[in-house]
Chain A
């Protein structure tokens, strides 16, 4: 029994396929992302803009590979890891993913808290309420319903584009900086580069991109459409990142303002670019953090359950999928409590999450490239030579940069 009609490449079909990749890439611009991009702009002006075209290529490579694996096998990334690498290695990967994603979720809740704090809502109120809302959203109903809500929320990202235009940069200088690479031999510059890579290509985005494709039941016939989706998502996400750097690079860098998180950036904008840009910036921060906080617990729990063969899915009840729902609930509760609890050093947790993400990313990329070049799994759609080289180069570069960063941190920079 075969499908009779091949899908044709029409505008309608392309728009219909849009979504999974877009969502995966856009939710990568979360609290941590905004903080990193803002400080990149504030500390080095337009000096880091050249990274974004490079990052876009790398993001496209990983996201396209994930979408392709999903299309060809119909299985999630966790499934593939388990089936190719066995229990032991997938247990390690899942444990790391769990810890890393809890840490990222904490940073999202912290983002919601600091964003809403700019509107005068204390963290003790905003975080529990957001947690309840997120819990109810992830627990109820189908992915499609959640997906639509999230896509609507993510349209707030337009805020950054508006903020950049309000700031009024010298577009000629911005354009030149984007295409001329320039590396500074400065320890904090390197650690910012690592942070940028880590936040742009987050490990959980690979899982999300692939499971979205699987849920949509796209197959090898849909590859073209899913590629367009993955690529456009990656490009769009990086355009947003680019505008953030342009905004803070135009406003904060000349004024010599240094910032440590995204809320700082929003505050710092006010006297220079007016109250409206602060409101936009913090609204974008809250929406971005909320989007990622909605996605993360579900992705994590789904990956863990998939790897170990437990029942999962947003439409399963507590009786049917206790572990799936339990993990989601636990992630949300743990993150909420840690953010509200006085005396917990959030900065340490965030740094820890970056470290775990940094270690996990090359490992997962190795898993991914080994799966994607396996002819038994991928058939004719296995990785081409260019894609293999690009992924291995990415792995080597990230590993080298991470090692350098750890070395620098150990040396006390």
Chain B
């Protein structure tokens, strides 16, 4: 007897050979690594449910029946114990979290193993395709497994051991799980956040509510999705939310509070302790995306005259939830930053040595209003694990640690990718899907070309039937569309590689001149190429065909020039959106430019050809 699904529905026979019911559930004791089956639930005559102790009454189990060791009249019924879980009711078909594979899955079957004469143990939950097929029909499972083996891809069992299962709905069922159990709460907060993001909204709230405040605080700052983050916060009472925020690193808390509306934010801030409130309010005073906003006020700074022993003592006295320590900073009598020591230097040094003799004097620091991306670049340049943020008197306000700097890098990278026209999540996709995405993002000009040509053909065919005039604009339009797309990618590259100067002036004039020259050059190339073709294609330059060809080439060149003349506006849009912290999709920009070019070209060429044909 291997699978729970096969056990369900078996007849229960007493020692006299009389059938007293059919199996409909099994209870297990949760306190073991491979839990024993402790009770048998069966449905007696008239659908009455009974539950009896497995250990006391079950004699043996075989493929066709469960046999009891006594006559039906001797059996005493029992009740579900608080530490028991019912397999069919609580586990089968339910969603569970695989805390080893970090996935949310549904239990398709349960694997059991018999040990000894009448003992059954639970091995784990089957969550793969085999369990699904077996639950439909054991025959189907065997057939599919054989076919799969013949094809060289054997269907493997996908079993999650009991010790790696977390029952999502246990808060409702009031089940106490064993201590040996690795539950969601023991995972890394980043993994908890990942799993929560994969759940339905309701379960999300329930699982989040199971975490203790410290875990919740860690997990909430790990959510990638701002909507989920505010959803989780809204699910908490104000007091809980506020104490959770107080537990977080002040910079992470500030980031979350900044996303809330004013009233809620004020309420939460007022509910927390004075120290945390002050720290968060100070950070909120700095503009978004600056060093001041992402710094933490949790750092160690001592007078330069202190000894190594003082410093070690100071570190020992810190709270448990203090941010990681990488460096100890030294200050002069006025409190200004004078030097920095690594932890290694402290450990190696003698206890009595003065910090000023050991400290590295040439400290790199940043101002609080510096852009966060540049802070990260500074840290990368000097290989720092933390960088101090100082005011104009060199007083330390806080430090930016490497974890925040890495977040900044990831965030900016994703934004840049989006402007460049590639989604950040696309690198996980398969090859075939990638080709389609690539087409949708880059080669959509083909669809615009087709649509515009259809319009031109409809108009020209209606007004001048039978003259096939639409062929000329159809031939030349791709030049205009491609150069418009080219122009946008040029603007995007310029924007991404642009380094902000300190005085914050924007290089619009230079850029406009540069693009105008480029546009003129390209337009000339287009026109001259067309002339080259025309010289060989048309004997009579005055014929309608030659004229139409000539005009379409001219219009294509003009639209190309026009595209490059508007480049500076696209750059302005990019800068404006960047200043207002709006994300810009590069694909949308090139879609706009290509559509504008298509419309301009279609209107101009259609009217030119109508004028020509009418004349």
Q: Could you tell me which A residues sit within 8 Å of B by CB distance? A: 1-4, 73-76, 79, 82-83, 86-88, 91, 136, 214-217, 219, 308-309, 311, 317-320, 322, 325
Contacts and interface: CB of A to CB of B under 8 A. Distances in A.
A318 B429 contact: yes
Given A319-B428, A319-B430, A87 B108 contact: yes
Contacts of A136: 440
B135 A318 contact: no
A91 B205 contact: no
Contacts of B202: 73-75, 214, 217, 219
Interface stretch (B233-241, B378-386, B523-531, B546-554): B233-241
B136 A74 contact: no
Contacts of A75: 200, 202
Contacts of A76: 200
Contacts of B440: 136
Contacts of B94: 83
Contacts of A87: 93, 108, 132, 135-136
B132 A308 contact: yes
Given A4-B238, A319-B429, A83 B198 contact: no
B466 interface: no
Nearest to A86: B93
B231 interface: yes
Given A88-B137, A317-B428, 18 more contacts: A1-B209, A1-B237, A3-B234, A73-B202, A74-B200, A75-B200, A75-B202, A83-B93, A86-B135, A87-B93, A215-B201, A217-B205, A217-B231, A309-B104, A309-B108, A309-B127, A317-B429, A325-B433
B203 interface: yes
B45 interface: no
A217 B135 CA distance: 31
A160 B535 CA distance: 58
Nearest to A74: B202
Contacts of B236: 1
A244 to B, nearest CB: 31
B170 to A, nearest CB: 15
Contacts of A79: 95
B224 to A, nearest CB: 11
Contact of A309 (B95, B203, B430): B95
8 contacts: A82-B106, A83-B94, A87-B136, A88-B136, A91-B132, A308-B106, A309-B127, A319-B430
Contacts of A88: 135-137
B393 to A, nearest CB: 44
Nearest to A4: B237
B82 to A, nearest CB: 19
A74 B231 CA distance: 15
A215 B235 CA distance: 15
Nearest to A125: B454
A309 B428 contact: no
Interface in B103-145: 103-108, 127, 132, 135-137
A318 B203 CA distance: 23
Interface of B: 92-95, 103-108, 127, 132, 135-137, 198, 200-205, 209, 231, 234-238, 240, 425-426, 428-430, 433, 440
Interface centre among A83, A136, A309 (most CB of B within 10 A): A309
A3 B235 contact: yes
A137 to B, nearest CB: 12
Contacts of B234: 3
B317 to A, nearest CB: 33
B197 to A, nearest CB: 9
B278 to A, nearest CB: 26
B297 to A, nearest CB: 28
A91 B136 contact: yes
Nearest to A309: B106
A97 to B, nearest CB: 16
B132 to A, nearest CB: 6
A201 B428 CA distance: 40
Contacts of A214: 200-202
Contacts of B231: 217
Contacts of A3: 234-235, 237
A217 B201 contact: yes
A3 B209 CA distance: 11
A124 to B, nearest CB: 13
Contacts of A311: 103-104, 198
A215 B202 CA distance: 9
A260 B5 CA distance: 50
Q: Which 8 A-B pairs have the closest CB atoms?
A: A309-B106, A74-B202, A217-B201, A87-B135, A319-B428, A318-B429, A318-B433, A1-B209
Contacts of A82: 93, 106
Contacts of A86: 92-93, 135
B433 to A, nearest CB: 5
B173 to A, nearest CB: 11
A76 B106 CA distance: 14
Nearest to B234: A3
A169 B132 CA distance: 57
